[in-house]
Amino acid sequence: SSCLGNMFCATWTLLVVMATCLVPSGTGLETSQLKRLLGMKDESLERLGPHTVRRVSALRQKLGERLKELRPTTPHLTTKLAALPPPTDSTTTTESPADPSRNPRFFSLFSLVKFQNLACNGSAGSNGTCYSNKECKYFGGTSNGLCALGFGVCCVFTKSCGESSSYNDTYFVNPGSPGSYDGTGSCQYTALKGKLDICQFRLDFDQFTLSQPAIVDQTCQDDQFIVASGNPVPVICGQNTGSHMYIDVGSNSNSCTLTVVTSGSTFKRSWKIKVSQILCGALNAATPGCLQYYAGLSGQVTTFNYDPVNGRHLSNQDYSICIKMMQGFCGIKYQACATPMTTDPNANQQNMAMAFSVSTQNGADRSSGANTQNCMADWITIPCATDVTNSVKQSDGSICQDRLCGNIFHSINGKSTTAPVYSYRKPFILTVRFNNNEEGSDLSRNNRGFCLDYTLQPCTAGLM
């Protein structure tokens, strides 16, 4: 009974069933006796007498020959079964494989097969959960390839307007998906906790194309993506494919509501948002209060609707971007992305300059802004930012700054060329703060937002 749900025990059950079929009738050997005899060591069998030893040895030989005859098409099945992780409380029991092309003689010998309902990669690129084919249909999912060595299907859950789901990795899509949508109105989806100890939802924008914000003040007027949960989440619009959000729900909330509001002129909108559920205290959980969270030693962070040519950063944005702290790393370096803007091979500095554009008190001046006096409208916060490693002092002798803005990425005010910015204050958090008073449509000089590459900095003797 203790081995139910364990793949080794499924294989052992097969051996016992086969042994029962191979033992001639009238021998007096019952299933319970076969289990005990087949599992005995040779020295223990010898105590039962030479007659029993001969019978069990012959039976073992027949079992070996029978297994060779019934070997499945999947190679190294025994090795793969043994490598599967131990079962959890989320398992599926099935009587037959999901793949009907498998040898029916082999699989008919199983009375029960159990496998875990783990995440899987569907054949069409979407993520799903491994269930039996019958379960997938019953739960309202769509089969998208095989899993669990062919015993299950990768079940993908897709929902749209007016629907809800408590399944992990459910996709919220636009009406008519995978095609575009040009209708107007409100499309709402509710993500429900699958378990009580879910503390976060992660939203991955596999596709996200809504109309651009207004030119005058950069607010999301025609289209809006709205998240309703325990903590405030900024409204976004525009192009955000590849971006993500973490939504804190904690124990005080049971759901998270996603709403797409569309209005205005005809526009080819599309969205496909994967909603993942994260357990409280899980290794992949974000620090509470972080709308975006990155776990690599290096990576790239951008504002919502960032595009170096045509994008405008959104107004009314107030959120935190967090980078996971790693053992042995005491600092972080940010550098403007070398986003391709021109075919000129000598234009790298120009490209990097175009990757940071946050309005400053000096209007559209081509210079960096730093400190509270210069960054009073829009800014980002990097705690104790400097242009020098391992220091709270800048290269010009001034102290580190927290607020940065302007059209050049630099931690010293008034600079005309970009430079890496370092911070050795933990935790590693970059805060975005854009107000509702934007400057207009001159995208060549202002208000595009930012694209920053980050790299964690290893500890030195003085920073351990």
What pLDDT, in 10s, does the model give residues 117-140?
999 999 888 999 999 999 999 999
218 & 317 share domain: no
| Residue that has been written with the tokens 């569907």 in this structure | 122
Within-domain flag for 65: no
358 & 448 share domain: yes
3-state secondary structure (DSSP) of residue 372: coil
- 355 versus 288: the higher-pLDDT residue is 288
Other beta carbons within 10 angstroms of residue 372's beta carbon come to: 10
What span, in angstroms and rounded, lies between the C-alpha atoms of 36 and 53? 13
pTM for the whole structure: 0.75
177 & 128 share domain: no
| Residue that has been written with the tokens 């299933």 in this structure | 31
Element (H, E) at 203: strand 198-209
316 & 434 share domain: yes
451 & 401 share domain: yes
Strands 379-385 and 428-434: antiparallel
Within-domain flag for 189: yes
255 & 324 share domain: no
Within-domain flag for 25: no
- 151 versus 352: the higher-pLDDT residue is 151
Find the CATH number of the domain harbouring 328. Answer: 2.60.120.290
125 & 180 share domain: no
375 & 237 share domain: no
Within-domain flag for 448: yes
pLDDT of 417 strictly over 80? yes
Q: What total number of domains does the chain contain?
A: 3
What span, in angstroms and rounded, lies between the C-alpha atoms of 164 and 449? 34
Within-domain flag for 384: yes
Amino acid present at 141: G
Q: Dump pLDDT digits (tens) for 35-84.
A: 455 555 556 656 666 666 666 666 666 655 554 454 443 334 333 333 33
Tokens representing residue 338 in the block: 């070398």
Domain around 443: 298-341+351-458
175 & 237 share domain: yes
pLDDT for the residue 113: 75
Within-domain flag for 326: yes
277 & 371 share domain: no
Within-domain flag for 77: no
Within-domain flag for 421: yes
Alpha carbon separation from 255 to 166, 167, 247, 302, 351 (Å, rounded): 9, 12, 10, 28, 42
358 & 395 share domain: yes
Lowest mean pLDDT among 63-67, 156-160, 276-280, 427-431: 63-67
Q: Which residues pair with 453 in a beta bridge?
A: 300, 335
418 & 320 share domain: yes
What span, in angstroms and rounded, lies between the C-alpha atoms of 341 and 348? 9
Lowest mean pLDDT among 58-67, 170-179, 342-351, 381-390: 342-351
pLDDT for the residue 8: 41
